[in-house]
A and B are shown apart, each in its own frame.
Chain A
Amino acid sequence: MGLILKAENIKGGYELGSAFLKAVDGCSLYVNEGEIMGLAGESGCGKSTFAKLVMGYAKPPLKFTDGRSIIDGVDVYGLPWKDRRARLWGRVVAMIPQASMNALNPTKKIKDLILDVFKEKYPHSPSKEEVMKKATNRFEEIGLDSRVLNMYPIELSGGMRQRVVIAISTLLNPSLLIADEPTSALDVSTQKLLLELLYTLVRRSIVKALLFISHDIATLRQICNKMCIMYAGKVVEIGCTEDVIRKPLHPYTQGLINSVISLDPSARNTVLTGIPGSPPNLLNPPPGCRFHPRCPHATPICREREPPLLEVKKGTYVACWLYVS
């Protein structure tokens, strides 16, 4: 099983006048072929920024400052911006953006959008017939009627538009697909269909691996093999999904799991606690562990020194002084 994503010590943030907001501060992540990796955490913890930095899409005010990202053997930051557009995005890595339902040009038919993608990615674009044949096949593979190709985005429902964006994103069979909160604007039934579709993309090897970003752990749990939890620009825990859900190690992960409402009859009489306090301001993060002001187990060392991300058992990594012997 090959390594599809190797992101090491990625750092970057936003230039806000004279200040610099460190949205991602030394995050590393590895995704193997055939894996679906879930990236979870609260809003503003740096999930989407991390994904953009991993694929080399650092457009001002976002700035990449350090680290290395290799996707299916391609060194992302070894390519100049122009080459990333031509050779990387869409072909090696593709992203389904957060507001992907609004990502389609309303004045163009779906087939014209697809032709545009091919024109941009290939200097000698294949013939229109070839492109349409490929598009028809992909649409059928993911359960979309090929008549959709002749429609305008306004003629499609939210769920259909989301599927069209996925079809277009995967037309060139990218090695890594990044789905950034693809289900958040959809109702539960459409959400379920979309999860099945994403799962199928990996199972049928249409994409080699998937990085699925969401703040909803119950949604991630449905299709992810592994999970990575972020807090305030840092990776705090990585492990296989079952372990993260059943035996979360980091106090933040524990708080996050305990905040999920279970549809169990006994849950109605219990009072969930949530996590008291608010996430830190990343312009001025607290010293030591960034979670310590909200952590029920904080000790003096947590307030002074940042915990390293250590492997505590095979495949499980956690950044917490509680686990440093």
Chain B
Amino acid sequence: MPSQSLIETKNLTKIFRTGFLGRGEEVVAVKDVSFTIGKGEIVSLIGESGSGKTTTARLILKLLKPTSGHIYYAGNDIWDIPDKEYWRNVQAVFQDPYASFNAFYKVDRTLKNVFKLFPNKISNEEKDKRIREVLEDIGLNPKEVLGKRPFELSGGQMQRLLLARCLLVDPQVIIADEPTSMIDASMRVIVLNTLRRLSRKEGKSIIFITHDISQAFYISDRILVMYRGKIVESGSVDQILFNPRHPYTKRLISDVPKLHEKFAFTETEN
């Protein structure tokens, strides 16, 4: 394992079984997936729905146990690391922020719950101070968001709050699973810029999961292309975007709608 690697997956496979007591068919969600993520690196996992991106993320987060294969964090098998210790270092930002916050609680309460992951007791003043610092750091005005419940806040604000919750833990690795799919273009770049800054300035490693290739292009150092549970191609952004080799990657890139280019449909004109 390279000394700089923070996360390494080795021959990771996850098989789900359908039917009563798992007696039905086998569904291979992730098959023989191996990759490494270095410190301060942003690696994107791209592919269509059902390609195994989110399952890979859930395996790395210890939310699922692999059928076979290993995941290492800083050289140690993640299943040998106590949960709380692991989650202090590896955190996630999910697609739907409203599903991650309790709708009945004010957002402050959900944010404060994060401190339960720490072994030492932290005073309320210290918690408030940390929350304010993190919110300001990602461009949210604490006065506008604290004391409110999720339904009183916009999707963009909620998504950044989810990111704030993750940053309160100050993890080394952030797994961002389609973090911008529920927010609009104007807000999207603000979230992407925040992730980019966290990686460049604070050395956070980020696994960015998306089906939107343009976002992967904007934010990543490396791209892994997944198709039917397997990594079919991996490389630098320029290599994947401008010199793709696998037919699936080629198709994926040619089918992305581009702002300054029109698809050539057979019935041309328009």
A260 in contact with B263 (CB, 8 Å):
no
Judge if A308 is at the interface, Cβ distance under 8 Å: no
A222 to B264, CA, bound (A): 9
Within 8 A of B (CB), among A271-325: 271-276, 278-279
Complex: chain A residue closest to B139, CB-CB = A276
B189 in contact with A272 (CB, 8 Å):
yes
A278 in contact with B154 (CB, 8 Å):
yes
Q: Which residues of A contact B260 (CB under 8 A)?
A: 245, 262
Which of the candidate stretches B10-18, B127-135, B209-217 sits at the interface with the other chain?
Answer: B209-217
B258 in contact with A196 (CB, 8 Å):
no
Which of the candidate stretches B65-73, B76-84, B97-105, B237-245 sits at the interface with the other chain?
Answer: B237-245
A223 to B262, CA, bound (A): 8
B186 in contact with A218 (CB, 8 Å):
no
With beta carbons under 8 angstroms apart, the residue of B186, B242, B256, B269 that contacts A275 is B186
Count A-B pairs with CB separation below 8 Å: 117
- A223-257 vs B, Cβ < 8 Å mask (1 yes, 0 no): 10100000000000000000001000000000111
Q: Which 6 A-B pairs have the closest CB atoms?
A: A187-B48, A275-B186, A274-B189, A42-B184, A259-B185, A261-B214
With beta carbons under 8 angstroms apart, the residue of B183, B242, B255 that contacts A192 is B255
Within 8 A of B (CB), among A1-47: 36, 42-44
Given contacts A196-B263, A221-B259, A278-B156, contact A259 B189 (CB under 8 A): yes
With beta carbons under 8 angstroms apart, the residue of A189, A219, A222, A272 that contacts B218 is A272
Tally B residues with Cβ within 8 Å of A.
43
Could you list which residues of chain B lie within 8 angstroms of chain A, going by C-beta atoms?
48-49, 139, 154-157, 183-190, 192-193, 196, 211, 213-215, 217-218, 237-238, 241-242, 251-252, 255-260, 262-263, 265-267, 269-270
28 residue pairs A–B, Cβ–Cβ below 8 Å = A43-B155, A43-B183, A44-B154, A187-B48, A188-B48, A188-B211, A189-B48, A189-B255, A191-B255, A192-B257, A192-B263, A196-B265, A199-B265, A219-B257, A222-B262, A256-B186, A259-B188, A262-B214, A263-B214, A263-B241, A265-B238, A267-B218, A268-B218, A271-B196, A274-B185, A274-B186, A274-B187, A274-B193
Q: Which residues of B contact A188 (CB under 8 A)?
A: 48, 211, 213, 252, 255-257
B259 in contact with A262 (CB, 8 Å):
yes
CB proximity of A44 to chain B, nearest CB, Å: 8
B189 in contact with A261 (CB, 8 Å):
yes
CB proximity of B165 to chain A, nearest CB, Å: 19
Complex: chain A residue closest to B48, CB-CB = A187
A187 to B228, CA, bound (A): 14
A263 in contact with B213 (CB, 8 Å):
yes
Judge if A215 is at the interface, Cβ distance under 8 Å: yes
Q: Which residues of B contact A192 (CB under 8 A)?
A: 255, 257, 263
CB proximity of A138 to chain B, nearest CB, Å: 17
Q: Which residues of B contact A199 (CB under 8 A)?
A: 265, 267, 270
Judge if A217 is at the interface, Cβ distance under 8 Å: yes
Q: Which residues of A contact B189 (CB under 8 A)?
A: 259, 261, 272-274
CB proximity of A42 to chain B, nearest CB, Å: 4
Q: Which residues of B contact A219 (CB under 8 A)?
A: 257
Judge if A200 is at the interface, Cβ distance under 8 Å: yes
Given contacts A187-B48, A260-B185, contact A268 B154 (CB under 8 A): no
With beta carbons under 8 angstroms apart, the residue of B190, B211, B217 that contacts A274 is B190
CB proximity of B98 to chain A, nearest CB, Å: 13
A262 in contact with B211 (CB, 8 Å):
no
4 additional A-B residue pairs with CB within 8 Å, beyond A189-B251, A217-B259, A275-B187: A43-B183, A215-B184, A218-B257, A261-B218
- Most chain-B Cβ atoms within 10 A of its Cβ — which of A225, A256, A262? A262
Judge if A59 is at the interface, Cβ distance under 8 Å: no
A215 in contact with B217 (CB, 8 Å):
no
A261 in contact with B215 (CB, 8 Å):
yes
Judge if A203 is at the interface, Cβ distance under 8 Å: yes
With beta carbons under 8 angstroms apart, the residue of B217, B265, B269 that contacts A268 is B217
Complex: chain B residue closest to A195, CB-CB = B263
A188 to B257, CA, bound (A): 8
CB proximity of A229 to chain B, nearest CB, Å: 12
Q: Which residues of B contact A225 (CB under 8 A)?
A: 270
CB proximity of A265 to chain B, nearest CB, Å: 7
Judge if A75 is at the interface, Cβ distance under 8 Å: no
CB proximity of A202 to chain B, nearest CB, Å: 9
Q: Which residues of A contact B266 (CB under 8 A)?
A: 196
A44 to B157, CA, bound (A): 14
B242 in contact with A265 (CB, 8 Å):
yes
A219 to B185, CA, bound (A): 13
A245 in contact with B259 (CB, 8 Å):
yes
